[in-house]
Amino acid sequence: MPELERKTGLKNFENVRWVPVVMMKLINNQPNTGEILFSKDGSPGIAYYIDEKPIKMIPSGGILRLTVKTDCILPEYLTLVLNSFVIRQQMKRDVGGSIILHWRFEQIKNVLIPIVEEYIQRQIKEKVKKAFEPRKKALVILDLARRSIENAIETNENNAISWLNAEVDKLGVNLNG
Protein backbone atom coordinates (compact mmCIF):
# COMPACT_ATOMS: atom_id res chain seq x y z
CA MET A 1 0.00 0.00 0.00
CA PRO A 2 2.81 2.52 0.54
CA GLU A 3 3.49 2.51 -3.21
CA LEU A 4 -0.23 3.20 -3.93
CA GLU A 5 -0.17 6.05 -1.41
CA ARG A 6 2.87 7.51 -3.12
CA LYS A 7 1.36 7.18 -6.65
CA THR A 8 -2.16 8.36 -5.78
CA GLY A 9 -1.66 10.60 -2.78
CA LEU A 10 -4.44 8.71 -0.96
CA LYS A 11 -3.90 7.37 2.54
CA ASN A 12 -7.35 5.86 3.07
CA PHE A 13 -8.60 3.41 0.45
CA GLU A 14 -11.85 2.40 2.19
CA ASN A 15 -14.11 4.49 -0.09
CA VAL A 16 -12.19 3.83 -3.30
CA ARG A 17 -14.02 1.88 -6.01
CA TRP A 18 -11.77 -0.47 -7.94
CA VAL A 19 -12.48 -1.05 -11.62
CA PRO A 20 -11.00 -4.10 -13.33
CA VAL A 21 -8.69 -3.41 -16.26
CA VAL A 22 -11.22 -5.27 -18.44
CA MET A 23 -13.72 -2.44 -17.80
CA MET A 24 -11.18 0.10 -18.95
CA LYS A 25 -10.82 -1.73 -22.25
CA LEU A 26 -14.60 -1.97 -22.68
CA ILE A 27 -14.90 1.82 -22.59
CA ASN A 28 -13.18 1.81 -25.99
CA ASN A 29 -16.09 -0.29 -27.30
CA GLN A 30 -18.39 2.75 -27.61
CA PRO A 31 -20.43 2.18 -30.79
CA ASN A 32 -20.11 4.73 -33.57
CA THR A 33 -22.38 6.17 -36.22
CA GLY A 34 -22.56 3.87 -39.25
CA GLU A 35 -22.15 0.65 -37.26
CA ILE A 36 -24.68 -2.15 -36.89
CA LEU A 37 -25.36 -3.58 -33.45
CA PHE A 38 -26.22 -7.27 -33.78
CA SER A 39 -27.34 -9.57 -30.97
CA LYS A 40 -25.81 -13.02 -30.78
CA ASP A 41 -26.95 -14.09 -27.30
CA GLY A 42 -30.28 -14.11 -25.47
CA SER A 43 -32.44 -12.93 -28.38
CA PRO A 44 -30.05 -13.58 -31.25
CA GLY A 45 -30.50 -12.15 -34.70
CA ILE A 46 -31.64 -8.60 -33.95
CA ALA A 47 -29.83 -5.89 -35.92
CA TYR A 48 -29.93 -2.12 -35.36
CA TYR A 49 -28.21 0.43 -37.60
CA ILE A 50 -26.79 3.47 -35.79
CA ASP A 51 -27.61 6.41 -38.05
CA GLU A 52 -27.16 9.16 -35.44
CA LYS A 53 -24.53 9.83 -32.80
CA PRO A 54 -25.29 7.18 -30.19
CA ILE A 55 -25.66 7.77 -26.47
CA LYS A 56 -22.71 6.70 -24.34
CA MET A 57 -22.94 2.96 -23.78
CA ILE A 58 -20.94 -0.19 -23.34
CA PRO A 59 -22.67 -3.00 -25.26
CA SER A 60 -22.69 -6.40 -23.60
CA GLY A 61 -20.55 -9.24 -24.88
CA GLY A 62 -23.69 -10.63 -26.52
CA ILE A 63 -23.82 -7.69 -28.94
CA LEU A 64 -21.57 -7.55 -31.98
CA ARG A 65 -20.53 -4.24 -33.53
CA LEU A 66 -20.52 -4.71 -37.29
CA THR A 67 -19.11 -2.43 -39.96
CA VAL A 68 -19.42 -2.91 -43.70
CA LYS A 69 -16.00 -3.36 -45.29
CA THR A 70 -17.08 -3.48 -48.93
CA ASP A 71 -18.67 -1.10 -51.41
CA CYS A 72 -21.15 -3.67 -52.71
CA ILE A 73 -23.52 -3.48 -49.73
CA LEU A 74 -25.09 -0.53 -47.90
CA PRO A 75 -25.18 -0.82 -44.09
CA GLU A 76 -28.89 0.11 -43.99
CA TYR A 77 -29.65 -2.69 -46.46
CA LEU A 78 -27.49 -5.14 -44.51
CA THR A 79 -29.38 -4.26 -41.32
CA LEU A 80 -32.69 -4.96 -43.01
CA VAL A 81 -31.40 -8.27 -44.36
CA LEU A 82 -30.02 -9.26 -40.94
CA ASN A 83 -33.52 -8.75 -39.52
CA SER A 84 -35.14 -10.75 -42.34
CA PHE A 85 -36.83 -14.14 -42.43
CA VAL A 86 -33.93 -15.58 -44.46
CA ILE A 87 -31.36 -14.77 -41.78
CA ARG A 88 -33.76 -15.76 -38.97
CA GLN A 89 -34.04 -19.24 -40.52
CA GLN A 90 -30.24 -19.56 -40.66
CA MET A 91 -30.08 -18.42 -37.04
CA LYS A 92 -32.68 -21.00 -35.95
CA ARG A 93 -30.61 -23.70 -37.62
CA ASP A 94 -27.43 -22.66 -35.79
CA VAL A 95 -28.31 -21.45 -32.28
CA GLY A 96 -27.70 -23.53 -29.21
CA GLY A 97 -28.22 -23.25 -25.48
CA SER A 98 -30.83 -24.74 -23.22
CA ILE A 99 -31.63 -21.63 -21.15
CA ILE A 100 -30.02 -18.73 -23.01
CA LEU A 101 -29.74 -18.98 -26.76
CA HIS A 102 -26.27 -18.42 -28.23
CA TRP A 103 -25.35 -17.87 -31.86
CA ARG A 104 -21.62 -18.44 -32.10
CA PHE A 105 -19.49 -15.90 -33.94
CA GLU A 106 -18.07 -18.61 -36.22
CA GLN A 107 -21.62 -19.43 -37.34
CA ILE A 108 -22.58 -15.79 -37.84
CA LYS A 109 -19.52 -15.28 -40.06
CA ASN A 110 -20.85 -18.00 -42.37
CA VAL A 111 -24.36 -16.57 -42.77
CA LEU A 112 -25.33 -16.15 -46.41
CA ILE A 113 -26.39 -12.58 -47.23
CA PRO A 114 -28.39 -11.97 -50.41
CA ILE A 115 -26.93 -9.01 -52.28
CA VAL A 116 -29.00 -7.15 -54.85
CA GLU A 117 -28.02 -4.38 -57.25
CA GLU A 118 -26.89 -1.14 -55.57
CA TYR A 119 -29.77 0.91 -57.00
CA ILE A 120 -32.25 -1.56 -55.45
CA GLN A 121 -30.40 -1.32 -52.12
CA ARG A 122 -30.73 2.48 -52.31
CA GLN A 123 -34.46 2.21 -53.03
CA ILE A 124 -34.87 -0.11 -50.05
CA LYS A 125 -32.83 2.27 -47.88
CA GLU A 126 -35.10 5.20 -48.84
CA LYS A 127 -38.29 3.20 -48.21
CA VAL A 128 -37.06 2.15 -44.76
CA LYS A 129 -36.08 5.76 -43.99
CA LYS A 130 -39.55 6.98 -45.02
CA ALA A 131 -41.18 4.26 -42.94
CA PHE A 132 -39.38 5.49 -39.80
CA GLU A 133 -40.19 9.20 -40.32
CA PRO A 134 -43.71 9.01 -38.80
CA ARG A 135 -42.29 7.18 -35.77
CA LYS A 136 -39.63 9.84 -35.23
CA LYS A 137 -42.25 12.57 -35.60
CA ALA A 138 -44.54 10.76 -33.14
CA LEU A 139 -41.72 10.56 -30.59
CA VAL A 140 -41.11 14.30 -30.92
CA ILE A 141 -44.83 15.01 -30.47
CA LEU A 142 -44.97 12.68 -27.47
CA ASP A 143 -42.05 14.54 -25.89
CA LEU A 144 -43.76 17.88 -26.55
CA ALA A 145 -46.95 16.59 -24.93
CA ARG A 146 -45.01 15.42 -21.87
CA ARG A 147 -43.21 18.75 -21.58
CA SER A 148 -46.45 20.74 -22.01
CA ILE A 149 -48.10 18.74 -19.20
CA GLU A 150 -45.12 19.48 -16.97
CA ASN A 151 -45.40 23.14 -17.98
CA ALA A 152 -49.12 23.16 -17.10
CA ILE A 153 -48.36 21.69 -13.68
CA GLU A 154 -45.51 24.12 -12.99
CA THR A 155 -47.17 27.28 -14.36
CA ASN A 156 -50.70 27.09 -15.73
CA GLU A 157 -52.70 25.49 -18.51
CA ASN A 158 -52.82 28.58 -20.74
CA ASN A 159 -49.01 28.94 -20.72
CA ALA A 160 -48.65 25.26 -21.54
CA ILE A 161 -51.10 25.45 -24.45
CA SER A 162 -49.40 28.55 -25.86
CA TRP A 163 -45.98 26.94 -25.56
CA LEU A 164 -47.21 23.69 -27.17
CA ASN A 165 -48.84 25.54 -30.08
CA ALA A 166 -45.64 27.50 -30.71
CA GLU A 167 -43.52 24.33 -30.68
CA VAL A 168 -45.93 22.48 -32.97
CA ASP A 169 -45.90 25.44 -35.39
CA LYS A 170 -42.07 25.30 -35.46
CA LEU A 171 -42.29 21.64 -36.47
CA GLY A 172 -44.92 22.34 -39.09
CA VAL A 173 -47.11 19.54 -37.71
CA ASN A 174 -50.89 19.60 -37.96
CA LEU A 175 -52.32 17.93 -34.86
CA ASN A 176 -55.92 18.39 -35.95
CA GLY A 177 -55.95 16.00 -38.86
Question: Does pTM top 0.75 for this prediction?
Answer: no
The CB density around residue 102, as the number of other CB atoms within 10 Å, is: 15
| pLDDT class of 135 with cuts at 50, 70, 90 | confident
The CB density around residue 73, as the number of other CB atoms within 10 Å, is: 16
143, 74: one domain: no
- Contact assessment for residue 55 and residue 61, using Cβ atoms and an 8 Å cutoff: no
7, 37: one domain: yes
147, 101: one domain: no
Number of domains in the chain: 2
- pLDDT tens across 70-92, in order? 888 999 999 999 999 999 999 99
136, 106: one domain: no
- Which of residues 112, 141, 169 is at a domain's end? 112
CATH code at position 31: 3.90.220
Residue ranges making up the domain that contains 154: 116-177
60, 15: one domain: yes
52, 125: one domain: no
65, 146: one domain: no
Please name which of 7, 53, 8 lies closest in space to residue 31, comparing C-alpha atoms: 53
52, 13: one domain: yes
- Contact assessment for residue 151 and residue 163, using Cβ atoms and an 8 Å cutoff: yes
- pLDDT tens across 138-175, in order? 888 899 889 999 988 998 898 888 888 888 888 776 66
